[in-house]
Amino acid sequence: EAQVTQNPRYLITVTGKKLTVTCSQNMNHEYMSWYRQDPGLGLRQIYYSMNVEVTDKGDVPEGYKVSRKEKRNFPLILESPSPNQTSLYFCASSLASHQPQHFGDGTRLSIL
């Protein structure tokens, strides 16, 4: 089954404790992206990757890192999480940036 898988689905942690949210897709997609969703703001892009070893900042990259060492994986790293990063996070992938994106089920992060 074609899918985008995020882990964990839910995480409650404390300020400053490094965490990684994994994202994996099995559709051989070139393009992958991370978004955060906050009430009343819609989804905002954090980082995206056009292909392996190519990553670029989206609209709200501060406090986040990503890597794209393999085509299928695109982890989101919070080196020193802060409470303002409490949000619902979505990973997405597509054949190319202008093609329809497939979304994971989301990761709800709470930073205390």
Binding site for other proteins (CB under 8 A): 4, 33, 35, 40-45, 58, 90, 96-98, 100-101, 103-106
User: Which CB atom, from 31 or from 111, has the smaller least distance to other proteins?
Assistant: 31
**Whole-number minimum distance, CB 11 to other proteins, in Å?**
15
30: Cβ contacts below 8 Å, ≥ 6 apart? 50, 51, 71, 94, 95, 96
Please provide the size of the chain in residues.
112
**Whole-number minimum distance, CB 31 to other proteins, in Å?**
9
Two tokens, residue 102: 């497939």
**Whole-number minimum distance, CB 76 to other proteins, in Å?**
15
**Whole-number minimum distance, CB 104 to other proteins, in Å?**
5
User: Which CB atom, from 14 or from 41, has the smaller least distance to other proteins?
Assistant: 41
Instruction: Check if the beta carbon of residue 35 is closer than 8 Å to that of residue 76.
Output: no
User: Which CB atom, from 74 or from 90, has the smaller least distance to other proteins?
Assistant: 90
Output the CA torsion 62→72→92→112 (10° steps): -50
